Amino acid sequence: MAEYRVYLVGMDDHFYDAIPLICANDAEAIEQARRLALGHGVELWQLDRKVAVFPDQNKTR
């Protein structure tokens, strides 16, 4: 299992919260992070490695 962090990105493009995740691999972490991208953007990180970026899903609809 690997440790990840999901950073919530505000309208000003700054992080305003972090959610720790423990996942088996990048694919599982990406799926969990994608679900959190409602009402704000999301960046998924593992230590100093940026894994994925998801824009606010409400803005892309």
Query: What is the number of residues in the chain?
Result: 61
| Any domain includes 59 | no
Q: Could you tell me if residue 42 is inside a domain?
A: yes
d(CA 61, CA 51): 23
pTM of this structure = 0.88
Q: What are the start-end ranges of the H helices in 1-61?
A: 26-35
Residue 30 included in any domain: yes
Domain range for 19 is: 2-54
Q: What is the pLDDT of residues 15-58, one digit of tens each?
A: 999 999 999 999 999 999 999 998 899 999 999 999 999 998 77
Tens of pLDDT along 31-43?
999 999 988 999 9
Q: How many separate helices (H) and strands (E) can be counted in the chain?
A: 1, 4
In a domain, 60, yes or no: no
Domain membership flag for residue 36: yes
- Indicate whether 9 belongs to any domain: yes
The reply to whether 22 falls in a domain is: yes
Give the distance, in angstroms, between the CA of residue 45 and the centroid of all CA atoms in the same chain: 7
**Residue 2 contacts residue 21 (beta carbons within 8 Å):** no
Q: How many domains does the chain have?
A: 1
